[in-house]
Amino acid sequence: MAAGASLTFNSANSNLVSVTDPDSATLTTVLTLSAGTMMLSSGGRATIGDNGTGEVTVSGTIADINVALDGMVFTAPDSAQTVILQIRTEDASTPTALSDTDEITLTITAVQLPGFQNFEPAVNVLGQPNFASGSSGPPTQRNLLGPRGAVAISESGRIYVPDTGHNRVLVFSSAAGPGSLAQLRLGQPSFSSGGARIEQGSHPEAAHVAIGDGRMAVAEPFANRISLYASVPTSTTQMPVGLLGQHSFDGTLQGCNGRTLNQPSSVAITPDAGKVLVADRGNSRVTIYNFFPLSVGTSPAYDVSLGQTHPDCVLDPTPSSASMNQPTGVWTNGTQVVVADTGNHRVLIWNTFPSVVDPVAREGESAHRVLGQSNFTASLPNRGNSSPGAGTLNAPTHVASDGTRLAVADTGNHRVLIWDSFPNADGVPANRVLGQIDFDNMLANNPDQDGDSDGPSERVFFSPGGLLFHNGKLYVTDKDNNRILVFDGQ
């Protein structure tokens, strides 16, 4: 397993550890590690000593001990090494039972996989002449203004960047770098125009770009719509042909019914372009469409809704696995779904694609996992602490995965958290952090990590947003530094 990663022992992973004894009602089990830590479930009635350390003791009835062992989490050390896990179980001699000790030993190899390292420098930047610049200004062929969501990359390698403040999408070549000029613009008549327009082919407040199976979508909160292209555009004359949220390209109506949207902030397309997912931020829900619309007329109705149990989109007073509060980002690979539940300071995970639990209301099933909080009812930023940690979030806005690793834009803490493997338990802490030297820092633009914000560099962020994994690299939209940073995780 990867150094620094976590492994859960349970029946779902086919590695459940349990104890049994034919003649004793109570036992003591000691788990000893040569490196790393072990955390046992504390939900039962067993007595657990030194939980979360390299030697954990659990005592109680056989049933209570097995409850504690089911779901125990081993966290490997950060360096590559062989770890010995020894599990020793003892019972005491009684008039009806013999004293006995049983022991098993497991060998776990932690390897240092190629990947991202804490506070590593970016290898490329778009939208700025160098890593030390974060300026904005009137629209040109190279500059960006407050980009929010993720870039998208076509099969040819072209990079489609949501230039949110200039109400356009800029298209750069695969070889683009510091100071590079865009090859193409979408949504504006020239590279020097940047006003918001409501018409076919415009991209007012372009917030996010997604590509799937040769098709492309742009989220446009200002117009309360998603513009859909039948193919990835390669010229300024190529127009979107489909819409979500509006009946026509000149409409801006917002609402909460099955056909309308309210400030949609991001969009995801399944790899086969068979489904479209929208983070309908203003309605505190994610809407799922089981097809990719290629025409306009009547705005399509969603097939599944996540995060709302009320048809009027009223927020639930207490968060749950079925609710959301202004979700900003959504990601899917066609099987798993991940949502940045911004207002609840958490990330929600569906391990399998959400099914409908209420066909009439088209309400989808509840989330399976939560990150950033210890449970589904908690919602405080950084879990109520004054500073962050490896398992806390503060207004996360975007998520992405390469199928193995998971990245979260922890915007309020000005960092990006990375899990080396897809989390399989609630509240699992991240393994890596970009933008800060460790998990305890949270200032923007603090390259020397001295507690004072300075200017941009190749290592820091100022309100990071959209994320995209592509060919081993991670593209991070650094909103308030008006740029896109590229990190090499190979």
pLDDT in tens, the chain (490 residues): 777 677 888 887 788 888 887 767 788 999 899 998 888 877 778 888 888 888 999 998 888 888 888 888 888 887 789 999 999 988 865 555 556 788 889 999 887 666 899 999 999 999 999 999 999 999 999 999 999 999 999 999 999 999 999 999 999 999 999 999 999 999 999 999 999 999 999 999 999 999 999 999 999 999 999 999 999 999 999 999 999 999 999 999 999 999 999 999 999 999 999 999 999 999 999 999 999 999 999 899 999 999 987 777 888 889 999 999 999 999 999 999 999 999 999 999 999 999 998 888 899 999 999 999 999 999 999 999 999 999 999 999 999 999 999 999 999 999 999 999 999 999 999 999 999 999 999 999 999 888 899 999 999 999 999 999 999 999 999 999 999 999 998 7
> pTM here?
0.79
165 and 57 assigned to the same domain = no
Last residue of a domain, one of 70, 85, 110: 110
State CA 206 to chain mean position distance: 20
**Judgement on whether residues 240 and 103 belong to the same structural domain of the protein:** no
In a domain, 12, yes or no: yes
Cβ(45)–Cβ(60) under 8 Å?
A: yes
Nearest to residue 385, comparing CAs of 398, 377, 394?
394
Q: Of 52, 82, 110, which residue sits at a domain end?
A: 110
Report yes or no on 335 lying in a domain: yes
Q: Are residues 143 and 43 in the same domain?
A: no
The answer to whether residue 207 is domain-embedded is yes
Q: Residue 112 has what pLDDT? A: 67
Tell whether 192 is covered by a domain.
yes
Indicate whether 194 and 136 sit together in one domain.
yes
Q: Confirm if 405 and 421 have CB atoms less than 8 A apart.
A: yes
Tokens of residue 43, six digits: 């939900």
Which of 78, 110, 142 lies at the terminal end of a domain, its last residue?
110
Domain contains 118? no
Q: Are residues 140 and 227 in the same domain?
A: yes
CB distance 144 to 187 below 8 Å: no
- 103 with 141, same domain? no
Beta strand 124-126 with 483-488 is antiparallel
CATH of the domain at 210: 2.120.10.30
Residue 1 lies in a domain: no
| d(C-alpha 90, C-alpha 463), whole Å | 53
Smallest CA-to-CA distance from 423 within 451, 401, 456, 453 is with: 401
Fill in the DSSP letter of residue 414.
Answer: T
Output the six-digit token pair for 246: 């509006």
* Same domain for 149 and 173: yes
Measured CA to CA, the distance from residue 306 to residue 206 in angstroms comes to 23
Domain span holding position 391: 124-488
Tokens in use for 124? 């490329």
**Beta-strand pair 363-364/264-269:** unpaired
Q: How many domains, the chain?
A: 2
Residue 337 and residue 459 in one domain: yes
Kindly report the length of the chain: 490
Question: Do 370 and 429 share a structural domain?
Answer: yes
Kindly state whether residues 21 and 144 are assigned to the same domain.
Answer: no
Put the strands of the sheet holding 406-410 in their side by side order.
Answer: 398-401, 406-410, 415-419, 432-434
User: Is residue 198 a contact partner of residue 206, using CB atoms and an 8 Å limit?
Assistant: no
CATH label of the domain that carries residue 70:
2.60.40
For residues 138 and 68, membership in a common domain is answered with no
Q: Is residue 115 assigned to a domain?
A: no
In a domain, 160, yes or no: yes
Q: Are residues 64 and 201 in the same domain?
A: no
